[in-house]
Amino acid sequence: MGREGGGLATQAVGAHAGRWLPAAATTLAAGWLLLRGMSSHADDATAVGLGMAFLARGAALGRTLHRRNVAVAGLLLLGTLVAARAGFGDASRLLVIASGFALARSAPPPPRADPVQRRRVEQLVAQTPRDPLAPFAQRTDKSYVFDPTARAAVAYRVRFGTAVASGDPVGDPVAGDEAVESFLAHAAERGWRVAVLGTARPGRWEGVADRAVPIGRDVVLDVTRFALVGRRFRNLRQAVQRTRNCGVTTVVVTEADLTAGQRDALMRFMQATRGVHPRGFSMILDRPLESTPPGTVLAMAHDRDGRLVAVHRFAASDGGREVSLDLPWRARDAPNGVDERLAVDMVAWACEHGGQRVSLAFAGFADLFARNDGPWPIRAARSGVRLLDGFIQLGPLYRYLRKFHAFGARRYVVFVPAQIVWVGLAMLTLEFARTHSRRRP
């Protein structure tokens, strides 16, 4: 890895497992037998065998021996000595098994990116063309692996021993493939499973798995071609006109230019509607009004009395040519059609400010909702997803987005099928766990 890339990427903590795990296995077995006074008790041999089995599994997975794991295993072996001398044989055997498990564990999750890495990623996002998910690489809870020249980066988090990449690499598309290779090597060295959530190019992730599962489509409007004309936009035109008839006005402001008083008022509005701790990982930013990536803007709607009734937050990439919806907030008594109005007016604003494309949202399982027929497994899957509308509202979101007739590229999940349990737990908890803000309204 180059000097700059090496400074930005997280460094390895220990040596390769092939050198250290056999030595660790020998130490574990010898230590146990010494503690037990060279006992030949069958239970003792079983405990040693199980502990060594964990070590063998770690070696087979190519895991690295990390200082943190060694420290934990050492404490467990110390507990083994105490328990054995106190006559608690079963407890001492469990502790020696646990020490083997601790030694062979994957590396712990990395810390969040430091300010230097975050600034570099902001620069890379500004250089990323035609990727609606690129702005969300700037979440403050993510870590990064860079290519050797630091011209591209993979954003990720680790949960349950699984490194989940957030979409495709940001930065130079040519260097993106090298960033993927660096990420896979980084994960392999630390014994992490690897999965990808939201990639538009599953072929570049062949090192993860040889198959990908589609999970939905981007919804992207070309600002130079979008117009509310024709029969197919009738419902959208009517929704927008309803808000105008109700006296709704809209304005787009740069988030970085908000005063402290405006931020406090917006924070109170967000807290009163959907909250300021949004769920999400790959397609949502975190810490609204606190962490403001470059180019972040707010589209706000007020009723005829001047009361704020809706806010849409948008993030930018590719030097402002790509604008992506982060999150919407909407008062319960807001006029019908206010979300459509903000989306349409945001397209007009982007056209005036050098934008080329506006991404409204991600339509989860859009192909599933697009038709009512199909074989019974498809119908059953569609019914199952609709049962979750009260939680993630994929059905209502699809009905809203189809008014724009802009379903685009598919997004995929890539993972090893044999690891589906751990990968599923990692992805679900990352996407649906709420983030926490440092500032309270």
Q: Are the CB atoms for 182 and 144 separated by under 8 Å?
A: no
**Tell me, what's the pLDDT at 73?**
78
In this structure, how many other beta carbons lie within 10 angstroms of the beta carbon of residue 242?
A: 16
**Tell me, what's the pLDDT at 373?**
65
Query: Which helix (H) or strand (E) segment is 111 a member of?
Result: none
- As a whole number of angstroms, the distance between CA 314 and CA 296 comes to 6
In this structure, how many other beta carbons lie within 10 angstroms of the beta carbon of residue 273?
A: 18
In a domain, 2, yes or no: no
Q: Which residues contact 373 (CB under 8 A, 6 or more apart)?
A: 379
Q: Are the CB atoms for 288 and 439 separated by under 8 Å?
A: no
3-state secondary structure of 163: strand
In a domain, 26, yes or no: yes
Supply angle C-alpha 163, 167, 170, rounded to 5: 105
**Tell me, what's the pLDDT at 81?**
76
In a domain, 345, yes or no: no
In a domain, 21, yes or no: yes
Q: Are the CB atoms for 299 and 266 separated by under 8 Å?
A: no
Q: pLDDT tens, position by position, for the chain (441 residues)?
A: 333 333 333 333 344 444 555 556 555 655 555 455 444 466 666 777 777 777 776 766 666 667 777 788 788 878 877 887 787 777 877 887 887 777 777 778 899 999 999 999 999 999 999 999 999 999 999 999 999 999 999 999 999 989 999 999 999 999 999 999 999 999 988 889 999 999 999 999 987 877 788 989 999 999 999 999 999 999 999 999 999 999 999 999 999 999 999 999 999 999 998 766 667 788 999 888 888 999 999 999 999 999 999 999 999 999 999 999 999 999 999 999 999 999 999 999 999 999 999 999 888 877 777 666 666 666 666 666 666 655 567 778 888 999 999 999 999 999 998 888 989 999 989 987 765 544 433
User: What six digits make up the tokens of 389?
Assistant: 């509308």
3-state secondary structure of 20: helix
Residue-number span of the structural domain to which 53 is assigned: 17-103
Q: How many domains does the chain have?
A: 1
Q: What are the Cα distances from residue 412, in Å, to 197, 282, 364, 365? A: 7, 12, 10, 10
